[in-house]
A and B are shown apart, each in its own frame.
Chain A
Amino acid sequence: MNILVHLLFPHQTNNHKAKIIHPSGLSLVLCFVLVFQLLVRGVGIANPQVLGFAANISPSEVIRLTNEKRAQNGLAPVNYNAALSAAAQAKASHMINLSYWAHIAPDGTQPWKFFGDAGYKYKYAGENLARDFSNPSSAVDAWMASSSHRENLLSSKYKDIGVAVIDGQLSGVETTIIVQMFGTRAGDVLPTQPVAVNTQAPPTTATAKPTARSTQRPQATVQPSATPTQVPILAQVQPTATATPIGTPRVLISPFNVTRGASSVIVSVLLIVLIVDMVIISRRRIARVSGRSFAHFAFFAMILAVIIIMKAGRII
C-alpha cells in the first residue's frame, strides 16, 4: 500500500510528487513501453500465426465499393477483368514471396510487368495497394483519402479493374494484402465526359473530371484515337470469378490493437496521477520546483486522443 502511495500520490516520501511522474519514474515507464514492444515483436517473429491482421475481404466487394465511389462522382463503372485480376494476384504473390511492400520490387520488377505477363496490353494502367485493413470499406476509404490513390479510383481513363486479396506474411506478421489494378486496353475507346451522377451523393467539383496523371501510371503507349459518341452502359459489372481465395477466416491478435490497448492504459494511468497531483498540490498549496502538471496533463490527453483516432491499415 505504501508503495502504491509513493508511486501514485504526492506524499512526503516522494517529495510531494508521485514517483511515477518523476523523471526516474518516467524512465521506468519508457523502459516498460520499449520492452513491451520488443516482446510484441518477438512473439510475432516466433509465432507468426499468433500476431497479425485478420481480415475477411472479398475482391468483388472491393470492386463494388470502387464503382460506388465512381458513381458518386459521376463516373462510369470499371469492369471486372480476369486478366487484370490475374495480374493483381501475381503481384500480391510476388510481394509475399519476396517479402516486400512496394510498387516496385526490390529486384526492380515494375508493376506493369504483371499486366504484360497476364496478357493485358494496356493503354493506361494504375495500381493501388493496401494492407492490414480489417474490411474492404476501410481500405477503399483510405484510398479515397489519399490524392494519388483517389486519382486512380476516380480516373475516367480506366475501363477495367482487377483485384486480388491474399493472405501472407510481411515482416513476420500475418496480414492481408489488397492489390487493385486498373487499366484500359490498347485500342479501347474511352468516354470523354463523366456519364452518371448519383443524385443521392452529389459529385464534388474537384473529382468530377479527374486528370489522368498518376505516379503509378506508366507512359501511355497509345494516345486516345477517337472521341466516343456512345454512352457506356452504367450497369455494374460483377466479377464472374473470385480473383483469389482468401482462405478461411483466421483468429489472430492484432499487434496494433494490443499496442493501442497497452498504450491507452499507460497514458490513462499517467493522466489520473496528474489529475490527483494537480488537485492535492493545489489544495495543500505546496510550492515545488517542477514542470506544470496541467501542461503534462494536456500533453498526455492529446496522446490519448491520437491513440484513439488512429486506424490500422496502410496504403501505397
Chain B
Amino acid sequence: MMRDLSRHVAHYTPLFGIFVCGILGFWLYSYDRKFQMAVAVAVAVSYVVWGAVHHYLHKDLYWEVLFEYVMFAAVGLVVLASAIFWA
C-alpha cells in the first residue's frame, strides 16, 4: 500500500490538496454555512473526478469503480450536509 502511494505521488498530491482545501474552507469560514456547503459539494465532486482520472490513467476504470467513488462521495456529502444543517 505504501509502495503504491510512493509510486504515485503525482496522483495523490492533488488528492491531498483537495482535502487540505476542504479542511481549510471549513476552518476559515466556520460560520458561513452556504460557503461550507459549497466546499463540501466541491470536495465530493473533486474526489469522484480524481478517482475517475486516477483509474483511467491506470487503465482500470470501470463503471463499478466509478460508482464506488460516487457512493463514497455521496455518504461523505450527506454526513457533512447533515452536520452543516444543524450547526
Q: Contact residues of A with B, CB < 8 Å?
A: 22-23, 26-27, 29-30, 33-34, 37, 40, 132, 142, 145-146, 254-256, 258-260, 263, 266-267, 270, 278-279, 282, 289-296, 298-303, 305-307, 309-315
Contacts and interface: CB of A to CB of B under 8 A. Distances in A.
Given A26-B71, A291-B68, A299-B47, 7 more contacts: A30-B71, A279-B1, A294-B5, A295-B12, A299-B72, A303-B76, A307-B83
Contacts of A289: 60, 62, 64-65
A195 to B, nearest CB: 30
B52 to A, nearest CB: 10
B18 to A, nearest CB: 8
B79 A267 contact: yes
Contacts of A267: 79
A194 B4 CA distance: 59
Contact of B71 (A27, A40, A314): A27
B80 A306 contact: yes
Contacts, number: 126
Given A282-B1, A310-B26, A33 B68 contact: no
A310 B69 contact: no
B69 A291 contact: yes
Given A295-B51, A302-B43, A310 B83 contact: yes
Contact of B30 (A132, A302, A311): A311
- Determine which residue in B40, B74, B82, B87 has the highest number of CB atoms from chain A within 10 A of its CB, and name it: B82
Interface string B49-80: 01100110000101011011101111110111
A312 B4 CA distance: 39
Interface pairs A-B: 4 shortest CB-CB: A26-B71, A256-B86, A302-B19, A291-B68
A292 to B, nearest CB: 7
A302 B1 contact: no
A303 B26 CA distance: 10
Contacts of B54: 292, 295
B79 A34 contact: no
Contacts of B43: 302
Given A298-B19, A299-B72, A306-B23, A142 B31 contact: yes
Nearest to A25: B71
A23 B68 contact: yes
B83 A260 contact: yes
A311 B22 contact: no
B62 A302 contact: no
Contacts of B22: 302, 306
